[in-house]
Structure 1
Amino acid sequence: MNNFSKKGLAAILAAGVLLWLSTFILIPWAAQRLAELSAYCNGDILTDRCYQSLVIYGSIGDMFGATAALFSGLALFAVAATLWIDINARREGRKPLVISMLDQESILFKNPSIKNGRELTISISLALSNQTEEAAINVMTYGQLVSEGSTETFGPSHLQAPIIKGPSESITIEKTINGHNLDKFLTKLTEQGCIFLELITSYESLENVKWSTRTTYILTSNDTTSTKRLNAIRSGITEDEDFEVLWGNKAAASLTSDVKEGSWRHQREE
């Protein structure tokens, strides 16, 4: 039950209690008023004032009838609200959980170029797995590379079919990076630093409730050969090996990925 539902039920309950408590003040006041008016009705003569007092008695009775109707309406509203909350709780309870998984060959830098400005393509291969029996539809993944204020957004990439618990599904995202952002990323990776990869997987349940799973990976270049290749892009040439030798035969630079502690998130999307 969400906070709005809790506040709504609390407001209904508070209003009913306040209305019920008000009768302890209203009934004694009405009784006193009736006693004062009854003095006009002594004897057999129906005076105008006596007639007016009788009309007032009827109005007071109608007032309590309206109060009863109000309580009946509040009760009906409470039942409807409870049913609505229960239906929504059931819809939200049927939620898939799709997670993304990377291995040590999942993130590659490839297709370098230094002739007309430096550029490099990052390729991210994901394995998407549904951890529940609830089907996930319209599954797509997108992400961001982040390093000290430099952000590169890529994706989304879509799965062609829904997924349920069982074998994982593969998905690949690629993005060509150049300019200032590429300089920032290469500097961090070649100087034994790290950059961050935030992956967001968005999907829907069969009840059309939207969910997303987020996690952040720490990317480093711990392989000597990969670091040399990245340095070749950064500087144009290394000290002892030229660019063509390092990047020949469609070579690629791989990155090591580790999940950032406490970065997993699973939430409903509005």
Structure 2
Amino acid sequence: MSRRLLLSVAGMGLLSAAGCQLASHDGGDGAVPAGVLPSEPASPPGSSAPPAPPSSSAAASPASGPVPAQPRKVSNPLFSLAADDRLVALTLDDGPDPVHTPVVLSILEQYRLRATFFLIGENAARQPALVREIAARGHHIANHTWSHPDLRGIPDSTVRDELLRTSDLLGNTTGRTPTWFRAPGGDWSDASLRICAELGMRPMGWSVDPQDWARPGTSLITQRVLQTIGPGSIVLNHDGGGDRSQTIAALRTYLPVLLDEGYRFTAPK
């Protein structure tokens, strides 16, 4: 189905909703940095095999513990990939969720795509096997704090605890220390950016926000993604934090459309 036809169908009955100005749930306002990130594009549909899970020889095992992260230079959040072709990144926030995350993983496997999962520490602590499954399927595991607080209104020591506990848990669970961090709500603070760098992570925002967290309807989620995506986009979706059945239905709808249009998906390293 072409994007034009899909948008025409999705837009029926939604003219008033689509005409409203969207208030960003997880928005950011930083500048787009220059330079292309090293990445491993996923294979397009029809390729011979899905991305191979990491081998035990290529990564540290949870039993041996993750390799400690090295401090990085403090930087502004990344809001889009510097790409002049149709390379985009899909990110999922607020998981892992025992109901919705496995379905998302199945969809990604169907289309042979890799994504970045920004996990909440306390959710990951309750679902360690699911965290390991996400990593084993070749997706990137990233830090979304321990309890999803507004980092702008808490002491620096609490910010550090939120990030450090989550990185330690994810590293010990998968054998891989997270290299990306996302502030809840996209609400960055000087402390969160500094501590993110000290823990060896880089901050990632997004450029496409369909506000699926608010459950506006599958058609509207799909429409917002297809209308705003472009080369280098970072797409925000949610696999946790509530009923994500609309998000799942939207993924089933817009992913094949984007792939048919020549888009390629990557999980930035």
TM-score range normalised by the length of the shorter chain? under 0.3
| TM-score, L = length of structure 1 | 0.23
| TM-score, L = length of structure 2 | 0.23
Q: Which of 1 and 2 has greater Rg?
A: 1
